Structure 1
């Protein structure tokens, strides 16, 4: 059980699902009415995020948060969270439904602030720490935040904007406070051993977060997520893990014994907490299950490898570019990575070539990836274990509470194999967009989320994402899916990153363009890459414009390529792309 089988799954999905969903088991389902729609939900999911905070006390002196040389136990996390929640209510008048904004790096205080706000019945508003001052000011004004908890960099970026907003500020790890601002230590005080959350009447479908979409174009919209939306991830994460292992022929009792023997997970959080993947699929299940969350000041592949060795990290979820940088590190062999049992990609699709490259450069472990959006509260489908090795280009199958279908332009459901827009339904689908009724009506219908992603389902229910609808290139009437071409380019051993975009053309309307970052110590010309691609994709899909980039390709905080910026940098601007 320390490695990963390469042989095909022994047991069918239907058989595994039947065993997992047994009545009385941890993955039992029931039906709840959400927004007037009957929805399958996890029966044993926490009722709300308050319950997650309250459960942490039982884990006592077990490490909850690690940051540098700082360590916080679960008992300390519970006390500090409860104390801050009480201060938010007593000192700042925060009531149920009020918005509490959080703008900082992945500090331990971020985690405490998030759970304090939601535990008090308020709505946490994680703001993108990469945003400029005006963007942060937009988020604060748009959300109607009642209080801001921020670090020095964010306070400095906001500058005079804080005066315009007249917003009280709690400063984290800074002595430079705006007028009227208070330091974190002053607000928190010294939490007593008997610290408890303030009373709050919280229901499962009450809103608890506003996560701003990490779109690559236009102004971001805030997805209104409920306690149930987020708590669903806690059970879905365990369900996906059990499903992957049981596909190899194991029984539930054997998997449970294996999980128990391993003990609580130690998870390295390399993704920003203001992003749905970082907060909802990494932070939340880790703490809810008594695990340890190891935080990084900023992404650095060698620092990540060092932390895996030092903290005996057992799991990492990262965007593909991070995994590529880790496996390409010249010091990869210098660290003891034997504790690492799970390496998953999320936040952006991984090219199949990355799977084989990872397996050849690191010891055997469970590999996987998932698919979801901010609007689906992260996890919708998962692909892991032997399924991932056999179908590395698939986003996996839906978790048991989720339905996925593919529809055409007339919203008609398509049969397996045909490409259309992916729709998602389940307990993770958010309530809509904050104060955006028209955008909500356009994206949500009858419990279904219109993702804007193009994909197809195979006969076994595995989902394949082929592109964003806005990224598809139409060359002389032929559809070219950027994700397909990117996957083919990744097959070249010298390629570290690639972005495929449409380039305006007078004859064809659009031509295919590619920007490539090479792995260290390799060389490749555009002509050589084009020649390499000939056996892999049709001639009309081979990029006619290829540029070799000197550095990393621009991405937003969630790992998505900023293709509009690339088009501008290389003089390919014209038809808008995300």
Structure 2
């Protein structure tokens, strides 16, 4: 069950198949496996042992990818941290994980130096820089170059051993370290590769941050099957479209904001994207008008995944994307979903309640937080904190997050209902609805929007247009806020709480 054996397998039996493409670097499986072996020896040389936590503070780099696999090879635990973290946010996560090693780069060294006095488990030279040699900091490149290429001694890894601690993105509160085992990641590889119809000939492109758990839904299947994995430094619509056309990419995974950017790019040309077999949307609901647009321009490719890093998911398959429009699909094999009320009782089809699920992706728990684990994981079921309902055929439909729900005069207002209406306006590229204080009703909805390039609509015009089309008076937005862009986390998710929080300053905040 030791996952890096996948690389060893392909290095032996398909050594010249292309494994990784990053920038100008193209590595076959033999070369990539050798790099992973050297990094594994590097970590062992620093005293990293089985179960030791190795933190990374990096954007997308080849070194980040090979560190993941090197940790797996020696039984260490990779702890990916967002390069956007600073100050207490960074030091608290490093300390919480008990990291014994940190891999970062020169441009982020000032951030690390600023928190170094607060780090209880880390000190140079176990802080490695991938792009420099500055004593007392360790040089990743120099140490890796000096390390042997032979496979390190077997670490005795079992399926229950941890491979990752994934800290939640923090869109709804303080991050928690989610523990995933080698077995769980193996299930990502086996079950999701089948869901995406991947083969050894697939070409998988990823442009989002691989510190985000969603990256593993295509990363693990690609390396399990020995496919080609293309990693971009960051998302750029024009670069992504050009790469798809040039490399004949077959599989992509993107968040809704990226899909919108691709569709609105002047470089978007369906004819040049004919190689695509799968377009997977995850991370947040994609507005239905954009789904319709994608299914019209590139039919038969769209999949949508609803899931939690904690370990439950549903998949809207490409064969259901049109006939089950609005749904986020059904659980994959060996998984189950239920809708329950406040007392945990099952609700009938069509009735909204909390989404709970279980299956082979479920976490071991939150690192060092048994009480929070017990609240989220009950008898093997993950309680999501999301509101949804099932139709008569068992397909899941999202309503909203519990924490995003607006309580206006005792009436539950679900922002997503309003967002679906607003997204239909031709001037609106993106929309986020949230509640702000209201003297009479307690809360009232407002809509923040990002306009399409060249659109000239005013905030009042947009407010009136939305309010003429919502289903109920309590769904009317008080105002529309036009923003140049939305705040996002490393995964590309919109941070509603960052936009909502200023309005609640000095009040009993609901965040």
Equivalents in 1 of 2:242, 2:127: separation in Å?
A: 33
Equivalents in 1 of 2:98, 2:351: separation in Å?
A: 43
Equivalents in 2 of 1:229, 1:540: separation in Å?
A: 43
Equivalents in 2 of 1:144, 1:176: separation in Å?
A: 25
Provide the residue aligned with 1:524 in structure 2: 457
Provide the residue aligned with 2:350 in structure 1: 417
TM-score in terms of structure 1 length: 0.83
Task: Determine if the alignment matches structure 1 residue 372 to structure 2 residue 307.
Answer: yes
Task: Determine if the alignment matches structure 1 residue 150 to structure 2 residue 104.
Answer: yes
| Runs (5+) with no aligned partner, structure 2 | none
Equivalents in 1 of 2:487, 2:172: separation in Å?
A: 14
Q: CA offsets, 1:297-340, max 9 Å, x none?
A: 22211111121122221121111000101110122239822222
Provide the residue aligned with 1:169 in structure 2: 126
Equivalents in 2 of 1:477, 1:102: separation in Å?
A: 45
Among residues 133, 140, 144, which one is paired with 1:184 in the alignment? 140
What is the CA distance between 1:147 and its match in structure 2?
Answer: 1.0
1:497-576 alignment to 2 at 5 Å?
A: 497-533=430-466, 534-549=468-483, 551-568=484-501, 574=507, 576=509
Equivalents in 1 of 2:459, 2:302: separation in Å?
A: 32
Provide the residue aligned with 1:129 in structure 2: 83
Q: Does the aligned pair in 1 maintain the 2:415–2:434 contact within 8 Å?
A: yes
What is the CA distance between 1:493 and its match in structure 2?
Answer: 2.2
Q: CA offsets, 1:326-367, max 9 Å, x none?
A: 11012223982222221111112211111122234x443410
Among residues 395, 398, 407, which one is paired with 1:474 in the alignment? 407
| Secondary structure of the corresponding residue to residue 196 of structure 2 | helix
Equivalents in 1 of 2:147, 2:287: separation in Å?
A: 47
Among residues 191, 195, 209, which one is paired with 2:150 in the alignment? 195
Q: Does the aligned pair in 1 maintain the 2:270–2:298 contact within 8 Å?
A: no
Q: CA offsets, 1:178-205, max 9 Å, x none?
A: x43222222212676x621431111111
Task: Determine if the alignment matches structure 1 residue 385 to structure 2 residue 318.
Answer: yes
Provide the residue aligned with 1:444 in structure 2: 377
Equivalents in 2 of 1:162, 1:535: separation in Å?
A: 54
Instruction: Give the 3 Å change call, closer, same or farther, for CA 241–308 of structure 1 in structure 2.
Output: closer
Q: CA offsets, 1:145-189, max 9 Å, x none?
A: 111111223323111433553433353442253x43222222212
Provide the residue aligned with 1:141 in structure 2: 95
Q: Does the aligned pair in 1 maintain the 2:74–2:152 contact within 8 Å?
A: yes
Q: Does the aligned pair in 2 maintain the 1:269–1:294 contact within 8 Å?
A: yes
Equivalents in 2 of 1:356, 1:521: separation in Å?
A: 23
Using the TM superposition, name which of 474-483 and 534-543 deviates more: 534-543
Q: Does the aligned pair in 2 maintain the 1:526–1:547 contact within 8 Å?
A: yes
Q: CA offsets, 1:228-252, max 9 Å, x none?
A: 111111122133235xxxxxxxxxx
Q: Does the aligned pair in 2 maintain the 1:86–1:198 contact within 8 Å?
A: no
Q: CA offsets, 1:184-227, max 9 Å, x none?
A: 222212676x6214311111112221000112243311011111
Equivalents in 2 of 1:267, 1:355: separation in Å?
A: 21
Q: CA offsets, 1:432-477, max 9 Å, x none?
A: 1111122111111111111111111111111112111110011122
| Secondary structure of the corresponding residue to residue 310 of structure 2 | helix
| Runs (5+) with no aligned partner, structure 1 | 1-46, 243-258
TM-score in terms of structure 2 length: 0.93
Task: Determine if the alignment matches structure 1 residue 88 to structure 2 residue 29.
Answer: no
Equivalents in 1 of 2:509, 2:172: separation in Å?
A: 9
Using the TM superposition, name which of 110-119 and 306-315 deviates more: 306-315
Ranked by relative contact order (alpha carbons within 8 Å, sequence separation 6 or more), the top structure is 1
